[in-house]
Every structure is written in C-alpha cells, then in structure tokens.
Structure 1
Amino acid sequence: MQLKQLLVVIDPTQPSQPSLERAAWIARHSGAALELLLCEFNTALDAGVLFDSAKVDKARQSLLAHRREWLEQLAAPLREEGLTVTCEARWGKPLHKMIISRVLELKPDLVLKTAHSHGLLRRLLLSNSCWQLIRYCPAPLWLVKPEGKWLGKRIAVALDPTHSADKPAALDHLLIEATQTLGQALGLEDHYLHSYAPLPRTLVFDAELVADYEYYVEHTGERHREAFEQLLGQHAIAKPRTHLLQGFAEETLPRFVEDNAVDLLVMGAIARGHLDTALIGHTAERVLEGVDCDLLVLKPQGVPAH
C-alpha cells in the first residue's frame, strides 16, 4: 500500500472538515499529495424546472466557481506548509457515484471521508453514502469519525483467518500488509485482532453438545487460536501485539478500541447482493456504528467498482 495520492471528500454543508484534517496529518508524515473533491447538487438548479437550460447552466457554473474559491481557501494554508494540494468541484448526484467516478480517474491510494453516524433505518434504506462507499469504492476508504479523539498513536486490524464471513483468504494478508505499511509510514503502533463467538448455550440444540458445552467453547477457541497463529506466522508480527477476542465483533472491537485508545481500525469488506446487505449489513458497517475511532476499509484486489 502506497501513500502518494490522497482523495479528500469535502462536505459543503459543514463548517469543519475532519477528513481534511486527517489527510493533512497523513500528508505531513508521508509526503502524499492531496486532492480536495467537492460534489454539489441543488434541486433548485436542476435543468428544466423553472428556467431555460442556458440560465440553469450559468447558475450552476456560478455556484461551482464559488465552491472552487472556497476549496482554494482550504488549500492555501496547506500549500504554505509545502504540501501539494489540488482542488476539484463537480456537479451531480448521488454522492457515492460521484466519488467513485473520480476515484476511477485519479486512482488515489486512499479516499478520506468524514463519517457521521446514522440510525438503522437510514442503513436499511441504503440512503447514506458511507454505506455505499464501504461496499463499492475500489480504493481503500478511510472514514474519519469526528466524535473520536485523534492521538495518532495506535492502529489495529480486524482479521478473519477462518473466513467465517466468506472473505477471500488473500484479503487477510492484504490487511496485515496495509497495517504494517501504515504503521511504519505514520509512526503508529500496530495491533492485530481476531474476534470469534461460539454459539450461545441457548442456541445449541444438539443434546450431546449441550451436555459438554464447556468443551465445545474451549475447542472452538483452540480452533480459532490455531488459525490466527498460522496466519500471523506468515508475517513478522510481535506476539504481544496480537489479540484473540471472544465475542461478536460489533461488541468486542469497539471495546478493544476504547480500552486501548486505538486511533484507526482497519477492516476488510466484500460487496454482496443488495438484499443481503440491506437486511443484515456487513460487519464493517455494524462496527462503524459502534467505534469512536477512524475506520479504514479495504477490499480484495481486483474488485470492480459498482
């Protein structure tokens, strides 16, 4: 994973831009170039509603010019620091498709976007751009949580060596390599996590298994520990920074993040069918609601954009 070009999504509706603050921090440590991307759309300027197309287009271009001026103001102090910053303002919707379109053109190493938490209803309706980008953005997606406190000290990665979430085996290695690269480039202490959850006793209907439930739990833990250690053994990782957690990921990962002051949690995600994601969501999506740190989402290499 390289850190040469970052694409930063700017929100024109917000006075502060946490994604830009994080991108600037990364650029200062890595020397990466930044592009500030602002996507604008206003139904009042949708062609053919009240005015003729020429007037609508002129008003739209005027608004985009105003937005570009604002982007240049955001970029100016960063350029004075010696950072390389370019600006891009575009008209269109939906936001996630506009972002993906620019990703395919620019081919950035990272896309950074501020992630504001939303309720379950919004996720079920697939109406939030973050959920869509988690599924379909072809570049690594760094979601900045404004509620968290950025210390810039620790990075943790959630791994799935048993592939219970149907993730390709190569994805775990990609996650590890990305974590090691970011840890070295950004001066972050790296940690490696695997969370597993045995079936609760109340959900085990096999009489023989219930009779020795404790053995089942112990055997399940050993199986996951062996798979975890086998995966980590293929990389240069210090054992004190490896953590096997018992419980559901959406519960154990946020707790680990909070207890250990993790700044960035790295996760893998794959896109499934619309109905599947609408009903149960990805682990990455559920964790996003629960953690107060930044989240970096990577997909298997070669996954096409939606």
Structure 2
Amino acid sequence: MDIGRILVNIEQGNDNHLLMEKVLRLAEGSGAKVELFCCCYNASLYSSYLFDKTSLRRAEEAYVRHVEAELEPLTMPFNELNIDVDIDVCWHRHQAEAVVRKVLRFEPDMVLHSVKQHSRLGHSIFDQADWQLIRECPVPLLLVKQKAWSDGGHVAAAVDPFHECDVPAALDQNILAWASRLVQALEGDLKVMHSFSVLPHSVIFDEHLVTDFERMQHTVRTLHVEALAKLLQPYGLTTDSPAVTLKEKEPRQAILEYVNEAHIDILVAGSVARGVLDRILVGSTIERVLDELHADLMVVKPAGFISSIKETD
C-alpha cells in the first residue's frame, strides 16, 4: 500500500517551517494528497459571548475564517508542484480529540504532528495533548521534531520479533512496511534495529543459574538472532547486513545510542512492541526516550486498534 493521504496537524503560534518542508518532501515523493488541519479555540472570545449563542457562533465562524486565511500561504509550495492540498479548520477546545475525529472522517494513511522543543536543552516536550494523540490516533502518527532530515533520509524500523507475551507478530511486519514506504518517498535507505537484554550476572543468586549463566546468555542471544533473521527474510536482509543492528542493552539506552550512532532521521516503532514502545500507554521510562530522542518518531498501532474517541459526541 502506498501513501495516498497525509493529514498534517497545524498548531497556531508554532513555527511550522520545518514541518512544512517535511510534509512537502513526503508528498512529492509519494504523490499523496495533503490536508492541512488546524484546531483553533480562543477562550477569551468564548467567554465574551457566553450568554449570546448566536453571536458566539458568528464570532467562531469569523475566527475560523481568519485562521484559514493565515494557513493559505502554506499551500503555495504544494500548488507549485501540483500536489493536491486542502485546508480544514475547526473550532474545538480539545486538540487531540479534534485531530482523531478528523482522522476518522478523512481516513488518511498517516498523520504528522509537530512536538514542542525545549529552547535551552534541545529536548522535545510532550504535553497532555501530545500524549493523548499518541494513545488515540488510529493511523501511523509521525511526531516531528525541530531537526532537519538528511538529503538521503535515514529511516530505521525498531522491531521486536521475540515477544514475551502474545503480541501479534504482524505488528513488526507493519513497522517494516511503513519504514519501507517512508524510505521510498524520501529516496532514503532502510535500517533495522532490535535490542534485548539478558539478566545481569550480579542479580543471579541461584548457584545453578550462576554456573550456567554463560550458556543461558548464549541461548537468549541465539533465540533473538534467529527470530530477527526470520522476520527480515522477506526484505532481503540478514542479521549480518550492515543495515541491521542488534544491541544487547536495556531498550531505552539502546534506542538513544542507536539513533545517534546511525544518524537516524525517522525511527518507526510499534505502540506495543516490547523492546520499543510497550509501556507508552502507561507512561513509563519510554517518555524519557521520546523526550531525548534526536529523531522524528513514527508510532504504528497494531492491526485492529480502535480509538476510544468517536467521530461524533
């Protein structure tokens, strides 16, 4: 499946220059239709007309038209390249809910959403709306940071083919499929990484396990290598390929190291994959990975995911 429709969440007051550059590059490479979406709300305006519903509705409509006019210049680069682009602005108090409802109506293949960056530390700050969108968006969500892509886009699929629990293996295939689509659109190169950790020797107190520790480590490594090799086979890759990286480290540390070492532009990861984003929905240490990650992140949901947000109230 190709990338046919891209939805871009535009936030008022943000510097959208780099976001638009990335959208344009994806759309030009894929031929996708682009929809620029903005959820606007003005608390002061709402309060001013709180007891006059008719005037409030007119004021909201005027405000929406004003925002539409602000967004119009963003369409010029797309029009110059004959890329199909539209603008949609809605009045809604809760941004994440509005975006998900737009997704349910527009049915895009992917959503781009810019995250704020801390001016002093250079880290991206994920607010409540960001996390709600990450949890609820039913299509792949590309979290865009204030870092330009390289000329040849470096896209990495973070996979976990050796699951501890009953998670569909199709998720890893979906991650690889989306990484491949991005590579095709950006004319870049596909990379794959997998991390795992063996129980440290220092925490093993059973004398039988201590004696057999080396064999246990070897067995775990072998299982991970074999599972990864099977997953990569349809893509013409092996665990020995230069594009494939296997790290024996705690996932958070492994991901951060890998992204920096391989100069990754986009990391594609699953929302329930054990080695990557398995705990994202309950807010564990992966939050620190997202904050510190020096790359854009695409979050892919498992097949059959249904958002708790509905198209209408």
CA contact (8 A) 2:156 2:266 kept: yes
In structure 2, the partner of 1:142 is 142
CA contact (8 A) 1:153 1:263 kept: yes
Q: CA deviation at 1:48?
A: 7.9
In structure 1, the partner of 2:116 is 116
Q: CA deviation at 1:47?
A: 6.1
Match of 1:296 among 288, 295, 298: 298
Inter-CA distance 13–206: structure 2 relative to 1 (3 Å threshold): farther
Inter-CA distance 276–5: structure 2 relative to 1 (3 Å threshold): closer
Q: CA deviation at 1:58?
A: 1.9
SS of the residue corresponding to residue 229 of structure 1 reads helix
For residues 6-62 of structure 1, what are the alpha-carbon distances to aligned partners after superposition, in whole Å with 9 as ceiling and x for unaligned? 100111021334332211111111211110000011222336865412222222211
Distance in 2 (alpha carbons) for counterparts of 1:219 and 1:286: 31
Larger mean Cα displacement after TM superposition, 183-192 or 32-41:
183-192
In structure 1, the partner of 2:14 is 14
For residues 238-262 of structure 1, what are the alpha-carbon distances to aligned partners after superposition, in whole Å with 9 as ceiling and x for unaligned? 5222111111221111211111111
Q: What are the equivalent positions in structure 2 for 1:47-58 lying under 5 Å apart?
A: 50-58=50-58
Taking structure 1 as the reference length, what is the TM-score of the superposition?
0.87
SS of the residue corresponding to residue 242 of structure 2 reads helix
In structure 2, the partner of 1:240 is 242
SS of the residue corresponding to residue 280 of structure 1 reads coil
Distance in 1 (alpha carbons) for counterparts of 2:296 and 2:77: 24
Distance in 2 (alpha carbons) for counterparts of 1:256 and 1:165: 25
Q: What are the equivalent positions in structure 2 for 1:65-144 lying under 5 Å apart?
A: 65-116=65-116, 128-144=128-144
Q: CA deviation at 1:161?
A: 0.6
Q: CA deviation at 1:186?
A: 2.4
Q: CA deviation at 1:211?
A: 3.6
In structure 1, the partner of 2:153 is 153
- Aligned AA (1:129): A
Inter-CA distance 188–301: structure 2 relative to 1 (3 Å threshold): same
Q: CA deviation at 1:225?
A: 1.1
Taking structure 2 as the reference length, what is the TM-score of the superposition?
0.85
Distance in 1 (alpha carbons) for counterparts of 2:196 and 2:269: 15
CA contact (8 A) 2:155 2:264 kept: yes
Q: Which runs of 5+ in 2 are unaligned?
A: 274-278, 309-313
Inter-CA distance 276–89: structure 2 relative to 1 (3 Å threshold): closer
CA contact (8 A) 2:271 2:280 kept: no
Inter-CA distance 75–185: structure 2 relative to 1 (3 Å threshold): closer
Distance in 1 (alpha carbons) for counterparts of 2:200 and 2:129: 35
CA contact (8 A) 1:158 1:265 kept: yes
Distance in 2 (alpha carbons) for counterparts of 1:108 and 1:212: 52
Inter-CA distance 207–136: structure 2 relative to 1 (3 Å threshold): farther
In structure 2, the partner of 1:188 is 188
SS of the residue corresponding to residue 13 of structure 2 reads coil
Distance in 2 (alpha carbons) for counterparts of 1:22 and 1:276: 25
CA contact (8 A) 1:154 1:188 kept: yes
SS of the residue corresponding to residue 75 of structure 1 reads helix
In structure 1, the partner of 2:178 is 178
CA contact (8 A) 1:18 1:114 kept: no
Inter-CA distance 290–167: structure 2 relative to 1 (3 Å threshold): farther
In structure 2, the partner of 1:277 is 281
- Aligned AA (2:306): P
Percent of paired sites with the same residue: 32
Distance in 2 (alpha carbons) for counterparts of 1:53 and 1:186: 48
- Aligned AA (2:214): E
Distance in 2 (alpha carbons) for counterparts of 1:117 and 1:160: 29
CA contact (8 A) 2:271 2:300 kept: yes
Distance in 2 (alpha carbons) for counterparts of 1:234 and 1:103: 31
- Aligned AA (1:295): L
Q: Which runs of 5+ in 1 are unaligned?
A: none
CA contact (8 A) 1:7 1:112 kept: yes
SS of the residue corresponding to residue 164 of structure 2 reads coil
